[in-house]
Structure 1
Amino acid sequence: MEKIWNFKKQGDQNEVKHLSAALNVNMVIARLLVDRGIKTYNEAKAFFRPRLSDLHDPFLMKNMKEAVERLERAIEKQEKVIVYGDYDVDGTTSVALMYLFLKERIKEIEYYIPDRYSEGYGISPKSIEYAAENGVTLIVALDCGIKAVEKIEKAKELGIDFIICDHHNPGDRVPNAVAVLDPKQPGCEYPYKELSGCGVGFKLLQAFCMKSEIDLEEIYDLLDLVAVSIAADIVPITGENRVLAYYGLKKLNSDPGVGLQTIINFAGINGSDITISDIVFKIGPRLNASGRIEHGKKSVQILVSDDVDKSDLLGEEIDSFNEIRKTLDRDITQEALDTIENSAELKAMNSTVLYNRDWHKGVVGIVASRVTEYYYRPTVILTESNGLATGSARSVRDFDLYEAIGQCSDLLESYGGHMYAAGLTMRIENIPEFKERFEEIVTRQITDQQQIQSIEIDAKITLSEITPRFFRILKQFAPFGPHNMMPVFVTEDVFDAGTSRCVGKNKEHLKLDLVEPDVNSGIFPGIAFNQSDAYDLITSGSPFDICYSINENEYRGKTSLQLFIRDIKKRESFGW
């Protein structure tokens, strides 16, 4: 599929030159820093050397004092407490974090994860009934609750208090809980707004420890859970999240909790340098699989486990859920793609809306993402649940999916989400009208540019500029993630060294050996996944342009630099 190479807007050249001189780094490194808002020596020092002391005062968060006081009272009176969270990775790590800390201080404490299929997302009526029946007087809700206005009122009538730790945008009203912790709520002057749900829970524990003069090392020991939440929930890795992720990854790589170690073992990444990408693609999907296939409670069980044998048994079960998830994902994705491919009408549309009552609800979000990636247009994948059509939607670059779905709200029972991802539920008989109206909205609003995948380019460099020192500094930009992505470069006029070849089970990938003309900088190895269609171009003897990231490749105990090729273009087809 054709891709646009989109050069990022360059920062002020004077600022770049000043920072280059101050740090004694080349202009490319300085430009990457300025593009990230880093313009002084001290800002660069804070970026490259994050410190836990850089974390903000948790009491700057609205209602933090009230939340801590309510938690203190529950401990003092030994109340019955439930730690409640969503069934995704952010929710289950949040619950594990809070439960592990509080279980040493409260005897009658348990955790509650709602069932994805019978209870759905957020605070469920069933959970409040359960709490009332069992004499629970406090629920600490994490990664959800900011829109549960009526449910919190019902809980109050039953004598149940709520502390809400959420990070989603609030609705028109904020719940009347004992304390609502959410940096995005009106009137909250907390300086960092992009914490994960687990991150907000961490700030509550930080505040509690500070007031009670408890050694903060006790909660720093749980930062591996926070790092997993940050990566899996795709929140920006900037500011406070960068500090938390940096130290959380250190913990994950040196001494993870028993349950996370088990997940790491099953993921096959033990002994390697675990990155944000490893969490996103290997750890996160396994923790998510429990809620998709059976029940999210299994993920919490393994995360709070301190018994290696029990953890291994849970790990086997969770890994089996993940294999089922992968099979469902693959089969349903292929079925969805075949449905479009076999219909001239569907292929010609600017959007995709597909419904199949037999598709598994737990993977429709993943399928929506894959179909969006393949056809690159706003996509809605629906299945049947409890007599209604329910599913997930995904968007393309700069297209406001949430707003488009909102224009169909009269056809929906409920919906929620943001610009790029949403969930929605409607009556099955409304699907044809929704499909027609959604297509009209997308056709009217989407631009030609938004229908072509783009690659954001950080800088144009030569291969000879990729020195060991250059890469050593580049590595210190990690952890990479949203708003701090791994830099992408363009190099023009490269040639095949004569040894490039197709690799992979079906010869679908390219293993490249690249050289620059008239430059004695050696051969640069590269890998281009699923780009074997460029083989004739690169072996033609003509120059071509590449865009790529730089990473390390470990083979037989030896580590070397490798270009991770994002795209390849004919030299004459691209002008700067």
Structure 2
Amino acid sequence: MRKFWESIYCPNYITGYNPFILKDMNKAIERLSTAVNSREKIVVYGSNTVDSICAIASLSLMLRYLNADVEYLIHDIKKGSKNIDSKDIKTKVDFLGADLLIAIGVDIEAREEVELLKELNIDLIVLENRKTIEDKEYIYINPNQKKCQYRYKTLSNSVLTFKLMQAIAVYYNMKSINKYLDLIMLGTKWAKSSTGGENGVILKEGRKFLENTNNIGLRAIIDFNHIVELKEEDIEIIIGLITPTDDTVGIVNNARIVLELLTTHDEDRAKQIAKYLHNIGKNL
């Protein structure tokens, strides 16, 4: 039976494509809303790519707006695996006291991790766009999975996360979440995803929101680097500055610093990080 909040989906959310067409989106919203309303610990987990960082930042900001108990973690893809393993679950996810894990662009390693999450009473939502033929035992949102009728199959991780955010907005009757399109656009542009269809709409509309961004971190980068007109090369500069580098601090730690920048409400801290990223860029 259709839920009321499914039927009121507003087609004015930039793309007009109903997020509930994505397989398992209904389940994701039911579990996520329970976590938000009950103040359960939500951990948003993704890789150290710009696509994932922008997705983590935008979803975390939205959940904080809803007064959710949310934290984020970075997965080190240099370890040779794009999956979450048992060590990560025990030492990072469970350490934070997670009740719900939302993994963006990363899946779990194997059956062992499924059982471990069950033992620890941690529910799992995975968002990714890899081709797969496997049936999952957890909430799995992927336009490429079997029986998913969503039209566009090449969504970046950022856009796929925005679909989840659209569904959340419907459930909580939020008027607009388009202000997050600045981050979603930057992640999509970095990912070099197909520029047609929904990705293309995000790339076009996101520029408008970046020009007048109210994201304190992005504004700090724009101001510190004296960016005025936001030409194509200026967007590339911004992407370059928020791309984690593998210097003496380490790529994962730099990813955490970038995430702090994109989610902070402290203007002084944002200026400090913007300066730090600028100095790293000069030394590359």
TM-score by length of 2: 0.85
1:297 alignment partner in structure 2: 256
Partner residue in 2 for 1:60: 21
> Which of 93, 115, 118 is equivalent to 2:54?
93
Q: In the alignment, is residue 128 of structure 1 matched against residue 109 of structure 2?
A: no
Q: Which one has a larger percent strand, Structure 1 or Structure 2?
A: 1
1:256 Cα deviation (Å)? 4.5
2:269 is matched with which residue? 310
CA shift at 1:60, angstroms?
0.6
1:272 aligns with 2:229: yes
- Hey, what's the Cα distance between the residues in 1 that align with 2:181 and 2:14? 14
Question: Contact between 1:142 and 1:166, CA under 8 Å: does it hold in 2?
Answer: yes
Q: In the TM superposition, what is the alpha-carbon distance from 1:75 to its structure 2 partner? A: 1.3
Q: 2:149 aligned with 1:189, yes or no?
A: yes
Letter in 2 for 1:316: K
Which residue of structure 2 aligns with residue 353 of structure 1?
none
Asked if structure 2 preserves the Cα contact closer than 8 Å seen for 1:169 and 1:184, the reply is yes
For residues 136 and 119 of structure 2, the distance between their equivalents in structure 1, rounded to whole angstroms, comes to: 14
Q: Which residue of 2 aligns with 1:80?
A: 41
Query: C-alpha deviations, 1:333-380, integer Å up to 9, x for none?
Result: xxxxxxxxxxxxxxxxxxxxxxxxxxxxxxxxxxxxxxxxxxxxxxxx
Contact kept, 8 Å, 1:149 with 1:173, in 2: the verdict is no
In the superposition, the TM-score normalised over structure 1's length comes to 0.44
Say which structure, 1 or 2, has more relative contact order (CA 8 Å, 6+ apart).
2
Kindly tell me: are residues 212 and 153 of structure 1, through their superposed partners in 2, closer, same or farther at Cα, counting changes over 3 Å? same
Identity within the alignment, %: 27
Listed as ranges, the gaps of 5+ residues in structure 1 are 1-50, 327-576
Structure 1: distance between partners of 2:226 and 2:196 = 25
The one-letter amino acid of 1:132's match is: D
Partner of 2:218: 260
Q: Deviations over 1:539-573 (max 9, x none)?
A: xxxxxxxxxxxxxxxxxxxxxxxxxxxxxxxxxxx
- In the TM superposition, what is the alpha-carbon distance from 1:82 to its structure 2 partner? 0.5
Give runs of aligned pairs for residues 34-45 of structure 1, distance below 5 A: none
Contact in 1 for aligned 2:220/2:270 (Cα 8 Å): yes
Name which of 230, 237, 252 aligns with 2:195: 237
Match 2:125 to one of 146, 163, 170? 163
> Shift of residue 86 of structure 1?
0.8
Query: Given that residues 164 and 181 in structure 1 are in contact (C-alpha distance below 8 angstroms), is that contact kept between their aligned partners in structure 2?
Result: yes
Deviations 1:495-525 (A, max 9, x none): xxxxxxxxxxxxxxxxxxxxxxxxxxxxxxx
1:421-440 matched pairs, under 5 angstroms: none
| Matched ranges for 1:493-572 at <5 A | none
The residue matched to 1:113 in structure 2 has which SS? strand
**Contact map agreement 2:179 2:213 (CA 8 A) in 1:** no
State the Cα distance separating 1:209 from its structure 2 match. 1.3
- For 1:212, the aligned partner's letter is Y
Return the alpha-carbon distance in structure 2 between the equivalents of residues 291 and 165 of structure 1.
Answer: 26
Distance 2:172 2:67 in 1: 15
Distance 1:291 1:298 in 2: 13
Higher helix share: 2
**CA, structure 1 residues 289+321, in 2 after alignment: closer, same or farther (shift >3 Å)?**
farther
Contact 2:144 2:153 in 1 (8 A): yes
Structure with greater Cα Rg: 1
Cα deviation code 1:228-284 (max 9, x no counterpart)? 011000001111112212221101112241111222345x36112333x543x3222
* Counterparts in 2 of 1:194 and 1:291: CA distance versus 1, 3 Å: farther
Partner of 1:441: none
**Aligned counterpart, 2:4:** none
Query: Are the aligned partners of 1:86 and 1:122 in contact in 2 as well (CA < 8 Å)?
Result: no
- Whole-angstrom CA distance in 1 between matches of 2:147 and 2:189: 28
Shift of 1:321: 3.0
The correspondence of residues 116-515 of structure 1 with structure 2, limited to 5 A, is 116-117=77-78, 121-129=82-90, 130-145=92-107, 148-150=109-111, 151-170=113-132, 172-177=133-138, 179-215=139-175, 217=176, 219-266=177-224, 268=225, 270-275=227-232, 278-279=234-235, 281-290=236-245, 293-294=250-251, 295=253, 296-324=255-283, 326=284
Name the amino acid aligned to 1:227.
Answer: M
Query: How much does 1:106 deviate?
Result: 4.1
In the TM superposition, what is the alpha-carbon distance from 1:174 to its structure 2 partner? 4.3
- 8 Å CA contact 2:36–2:69 kept in 1: the answer is no
- Structure 2 segments unaligned to the other structure (5+ residues): 1-11
For 2:246 and 2:180, how far apart are their aligned partners in 1?
Answer: 22
Q: Deviations over 1:177-205 (max 9, x none)?
A: 2x111111121110111211011111011
Tell me, in whole angstroms, the C-alpha distance in 2 between the residues paired with 1:241 and 1:142: 17
**Aligned-residue CA RMSD (Å):** 2.2
